[in-house]
Amino acid sequence: MQIQINTDKNIDGNKRLVDFYTSEIEKELARFDDKITRVEVHFGDENSEKFGKNDKRCLIEVRIAKKEPLAVTEHAETLEKAFHGALNKAKKVMMTTLEKMREV
């Protein structure tokens, strides 16, 4: 599973941030590892330096072999909350998608 972390110009995409979120994805999506080819995470701060409620955005795109990508988005007041919300959504979508694949 290839993992790519992207940030907008308002968020510092330093090595520590990339390493932390990469390890979280590896841990949380490990059971789907043989199905997933790539995971892309996009972090954004929609209000830039201004304060705003739920202005941090996390979009997670999961690519399954020979399927259309699955994408989920979560907004929250911190990057970590947005990430974990999006990751939980991604796991639910993955489970539903894989169940449908088994039915076929």
Question: What CATH number corresponds to the domain at position 13?
Answer: 3.30.160.100
In the chain, count of helices (H) and strands (E)? Answer: 2, 4
Tokens 């941030």 belong to 17
Q: Which domain holds residue 88?
A: 2-103
pTM above 0.85, yes or no: yes
Let me know: does 70 contact 34? Beta carbons within 8 Å: no
| Rounded CA separation 19/100 (Å) | 32
Q: How many domains does the structure of the chain reveal?
A: 1
pLDDT per residue, tens digit, the chain (104 aa), is: 999 999 999 888 899 999 999 999 999 999 999 999 999 999 999 876 666 677 899 999 999 988 899 999 999 999 999 999 999 999 999 999 888 888 76
Backbone angles phi, psi at 41, to 5 degrees: -115, 130
